Amino acid sequence: MNLTDTFSEFKELKNIDRPTMMRVLEDVFRSTLVKQYGTDENFDIIINIDKGDFEIWRNREVVEDDKLTDPNKEISLTEAKKIDEDYEVGEEVSDEVKMVDFGRRAILTLRQNLTSRILDLEKDQLYAKYKDRIGEIVTGEVYQVWKKEIMIIDDEGNELIMPKTEQIPNDYFRKGDTVRAAVVRVEMRNATPLVILSRTSPIFLERLFELEVPEIFDGLITIKNIKRIPGERAKVAVESYDERIDPVGACVGMKGARIHGIVRELRNENIDVINYTNNVSLYIARALSPAKVSQIKINDETKKADVYLQPDQVSLAIGKGGSNIKLASQLTGYEIDVYRESNNEEDVDLEEFADEIDGWVLDTLKAIGCDTAKSVLEIPADELAHRTDLEESTINDVLRILKAEFE
């Protein structure tokens, strides 16, 4: 029997060491021999993986014709002499066993067992390989795109999965695209190892920084914490133990050269790199970047922080859809509340009240030439009602909110 095809499958398993391959092959052959002869003790198996063939030799003792009791372990003198005239009683005869003599059913079973063991080896190989690579970035080619996940093939032909939930919202992949992602877990699905990749995990961003910033890779700069809203914004706290190294400057690079590649990989995710510090107030102030903080009141017991800012800094601190303040809270571990600093000598742009007054109301006030809080407060309520056609209750609410700013 020629098992060339099955052997070639073994040869393709480059990461399987030779002793393991030989052991598995011999195990399968010996199991077939046990079924056929009741034992495999008196058989020698010679396997040539490179050529894709094998030989099985049976060793039997020569006995007198009338003393033959076990045809598997013994051979009569008459039969032995047919092989070689020089054989004598008590000597050992080795003759080759041909698989074709086993019968079609036995051969089919052998091939099925070999194929099954090959698949098991592949599964074990994939699981072991990627279990040790959790947290690493891998590069692969998109092979299949489904609604809830995509299949990626690595450079060794292994199948990897990236669910939709692990893709950046504006990721768009087509078959044949090259994609980079981090290995986040390896799990079993129907007894088959499943390698899960992610582009939304903070680990992916951390590894990208290691690739782009040599000082991080070398351990001169440490990433203390990362928080992300994938595709929108990320905050990265870094620290250097060498006073001569500016960790933020090193991460950003000359004219943003280093961070630009990371931003592009993450679909233009806005990345704030901040200097880590044990000073909680300073850490929170930095975390709210790009807003400039005027004053912070910390409550360490409740893990809350009241942050006071100039009116023009409030929207910066909150960020689009609240993203900036949300990430700052996650990064520092403090619940942050933002307050406008009241300053009676200054006026406040109406836009600064967008989180308290409906946009259409602000637009109506602007239409009559009122762009600031004081310009509205200077007009009597009844005149405002006449000029804007706003309801009395709406105007009273607006005036109450604006007056509170200057009290």
How many H helices and E strands in the chain? Answer: 15, 15
Q: For residue 1, what pLDDT band results from cuts at 50, 70 and 90?
A: very low
The lowest-confidence range among 18-27, 180-189, 225-234 is: 18-27
Would you say residue 20 has pLDDT above 80?
Answer: no
Q: Are 388 and 365 a contacting pair, CB within 8 Å?
A: yes
How far apart are the C-alpha atoms of 224 and 221, rounded to whole Å?
9
Tokens 């000597």, residue? 91
Q: Are 152 and 143 a contacting pair, CB within 8 Å?
A: yes
Tokens 């959790």, residue? 134
Write down the pTM of the prediction: 0.66
How far apart are the C-alpha atoms of 128 and 105, rounded to whole Å?
35
Would you say residue 293 has pLDDT above 90?
Answer: yes
Tell me: the pLDDT tens digits for 192-242? 899 999 999 999 999 999 999 999 999 999 999 999 999 999 999 999 988
Please spell the DSSP secondary structure of 270-294, one letter per residue.
EEEEEE--S-HHHHHHHHTTTSPEE
Tell me: the pLDDT tens digits for 366-400? 888 788 888 888 888 888 888 888 999 999 999 99
Mean pLDDT of 1-30: 66
Residue type for position 173 = F
Tell me: the pLDDT tens digits for 68-77? 888 889 999 9
Q: Highest mean pLDDT range out of 1-15, 81-95, 208-222?
A: 208-222
Q: Kindly give, in sequence order, each residue whose CB lies less than 8 Å from that of residue 190, ignoring residues fewer than 6 positions away.
A: none
Q: Kindly give, in sequence order, each residue whose CB lies less than 8 Å from that of residue 172, ignoring residues fewer than 6 positions away.
A: none
Tokens 């409740």, residue? 302
Secondary element (H or E) of residue 163:
strand 159-163
The lowest-confidence range among 42-56, 67-81, 250-264, 387-401 is: 42-56
Q: Kindly state the percentage of the chain with pLDDT values over 90.
A: 52
Residue type for position 271 = I
- Return the ∠ at Cα 340 (arms to 231 and 271), rounded to 5°: 20
How far apart are the C-alpha atoms of 228 and 220, rounded to whole Å?
23
Would you say residue 17 has pLDDT above 80?
Answer: no
How far apart are the C-alpha atoms of 234 and 221, rounded to whole Å?
18
How far apart are the C-alpha atoms of 234 and 365, rounded to whole Å?
36
Tell me: the pLDDT tens digits for 113-141? 877 887 887 788 888 889 999 999 999 99
CB-based burial of residue 360 (10 Å sphere; 0-12 exposed, 13-18 middle, 19+ buried)?
Answer: exposed
